[in-house]
Amino acid sequence: MTFIVGSACVNCKHTDCVEVCPVDCFYEGENTLVIDPEECIDCGLCEPECPVNAIYAEDEVPADEIDFIKINEKYSQIWPNITEAKDPLPDHEKWKDVPNKIELLILE
């Protein structure tokens, strides 16, 4: 099993999770993070660190977030690895409570 970054991360991109990951399995897109499911060791350290509750165990991903399983898998192979915390996106407060942000995801 692995952990998944869901839509709550989109346009927020807090990186508290990155600091606690013992295997550096986070990857950074323009407006979100993803987890490489092949590298994740299912330790669970990242989940409680996320201030917007964007991280789920793979078997607990809500039905409306299922697409993020494939998004994490695909984009962790494309985007650069991130191993140190950074500031969240400048307008993260504006986006923290907005649901279903998949349409805002920048996949480049």
Tens digits of residue pLDDT in 14-68:
999 999 999 999 999 999 999 999 999 999 999 999 999 999 999 999 999 999 9
Q: Which helix (H) or strand (E) holds 55?
A: strand 55-57
At 12, the pLDDT band (50, 70, 90 cuts) reads very high
At 1, the pLDDT band (50, 70, 90 cuts) reads confident
Q: What is the pTM of this model?
A: 0.96
Kindly list the domain boundaries of the chain, sorted by start residue: 7-84
CA distances from 62 to 8, 20, 35, 48, 83 (A): 12, 24, 17, 17, 27
What average pLDDT does the chain have? 96
By the 8 A CB rule, do 81 and 21 touch? no
In the CATH scheme, what architecture does the domain 7-84 have? 2-Layer Sandwich (3.30)
Residue 22: CA count within 13 A, CB half-sphere? 5
